Structure 1
Amino acid sequence: MADKKAVLIAITPQDVRHDEARQIATILDGGATFVHLRHPGATYSDMKRIIEDIPQRYHSRLRLHGHFELLNEFNLGGIHLNSRCPQAPLLYHGSVSRTCHSVEKVNEAAQYVDFVTLSPICNSISKPGYEGAFTHEQLSSLPLGKVVALGGITPGHISELKQYPFIGYAVLGYLWEAQTTDELTQRLDKLTSAL
């Protein structure tokens, strides 16, 4: 990763938050490459409302974890496959990423998606008890140009993880624990500086 700046992905928390669209705009303004709209319990209407409330100039930097039919209404940055939504819609030709929880799954998925997230790399902030699960040897053997580290990512962890072939880092708990917009901006500054 020496020549190219790492990708920084913010993943929304499980539940929709008050003023989330403004927070997402702040995150994208602050240097995140993408925001993944996760919200496993959100309805189609909830997701549509969030996207409508985000300024259109950011839409190409949003990726969906569900409700892929929203791609028919918005020009979004792609989709992210997971256990709830394991397949891309028929005839979809946009950017696709996938969740993986093992090196074996990374090696399988890396052949047919743009990138994968691998977790948990470090002990999760948003899921207590969900602990880092990979050895130095496993992380060193990851395919080049395909893997984004997820799980407990903080600015301090990024410097430790640069020895591995990650193309970037995905954050959830570290960002969404921020209590104010100023704190969110400070956390983003620390993350982007660590890249």
Structure 2
Amino acid sequence: MTDRFLKIAITKPEIISSEADMISSLLVNGLDYVHIRKPEASLRDIRNLIEDIPYRLRKRLRLHGHFELFNDFNLGGAHLNSRCPVAPQAACRLSKSCHSIEELNGCEDYEYVTLSPIFDSISKAGYHSAFDINDLKDKIYSKNVIALGGVTPEKFGQLAAAGFAGAAMLGCIWEDIGSFLQKINKTICCNI
């Protein structure tokens, strides 16, 4: 189990203007990792995005695909999912997507796993919570499980109390990144 509550951002699936600057701001302002999840993006698109992020921050990037880029960049890890279930040959830290309690079994070798959807999704209409957060603590204890789905900074305390090792966010970030950064700074100041 991690000794602190991890805060993770996941990119929008499409390439957006000034994205490298926004990713850099997220990392500089207290997020632990940014997951680059762009299922339709080309290898060149992902390469260009990474090249525009300062070298010192790249170790905190996780890729959800195009794992061949590990040979060219000093990245923080790979996130395995149904689209890319096989770990890259390059030595790297691994995380994984899970969507049921049963999937958590056998995930001890991963640095962390995401479990979703914990709350109703902000970014995916009709993607509703699959869990009762009050029933999860005994099932996720000591497994380094990161909550995903409908997560906002205001829910960090509730998630920590339920036994989650951290929170991954997408929808609450990209609509108004300035407002999100203010909320994150407030939670960091409060030690959540």
- Using structure 2 for the length normalisation, give the TM-score: 0.92
Task: Give 2:181's aligned residue.
Answer: 185
Is 1:132 paired with 2:112?
no
Give the AA of the match of 1:87. Answer: V
Give the AA of the match of 2:161. Answer: Q
Percent identical across equivalent pairs? 44
Report deviation, 1:28. 0.4
1:154-189 superposed Cα distances (whole Å, 9 cap, x missing partner) = 1222222222221111011111111xx533422432
Give the AA of the match of 2:12. Answer: P
Distance in 2 separating the partners of 1:75 and 1:169: 24
Is 1:121 paired with 2:142?
no
Distance change in 2, residues 1:122/1:192 (3 Å):
farther
Report deviation, 1:35. 0.4
- Is the Cα contact below 8 Å between 2:7 and 2:33 reproduced in 1? yes
1:98-156 superposed Cα distances (whole Å, 9 cap, x missing partner) = 00000100123x22311100000011101111111112223431141420111111122
Distance in 1 separating the partners of 2:63 and 2:125: 25
Task: Give 1:167's aligned residue.
Answer: 165
Task: Give 1:77's aligned residue.
Answer: 76
Q: CA RMSD in A?
A: 1.8
**Structure 1 residue ranges (4+ consecutive) displaced by more than 3 angstroms after TM superposition:** 190-194
Report deviation, 1:68. 0.2
Task: Give 2:33's aligned residue.
Answer: 34
Task: Give 1:89's aligned residue.
Answer: 88
- Using structure 1 for the length normalisation, give the TM-score: 0.90
Distance in 1 separating the partners of 2:108 and 2:87: 15
Distance in 1 separating the partners of 2:183 and 2:12: 16
- Is the Cα contact below 8 Å between 1:34 and 1:61 reproduced in 2? yes
Give unmatched runs, 5+ long, in structure 2. Answer: none
1:61-102 superposed Cα distances (whole Å, 9 cap, x missing partner) = 001000000000000000000111001023x33100000000
Q: What is the total number of aligned residue pairs between the two structures?
A: 190
What secondary structure is seen at the aligned counterpart in 2 of 1:141? helix
1:10-58 superposed Cα distances (whole Å, 9 cap, x missing partner) = 0001111100000001000110000000011110000000000001110
Give the AA of the match of 2:110. Answer: V
Task: Give 2:16's aligned residue.
Answer: 17
Distance in 2 separating the partners of 1:94 and 1:121: 27
Give the AA of the match of 2:55. Answer: Q
- Is the Cα contact below 8 Å between 2:136 and 2:162 reproduced in 1? no
- Is the Cα contact below 8 Å between 2:159 and 2:166 reproduced in 1? no
Give unmatched runs, 5+ long, in structure 1. Answer: none
Give the AA of the match of 1:129. Answer: G
Distance in 1 separating the partners of 2:188 and 2:77: 22
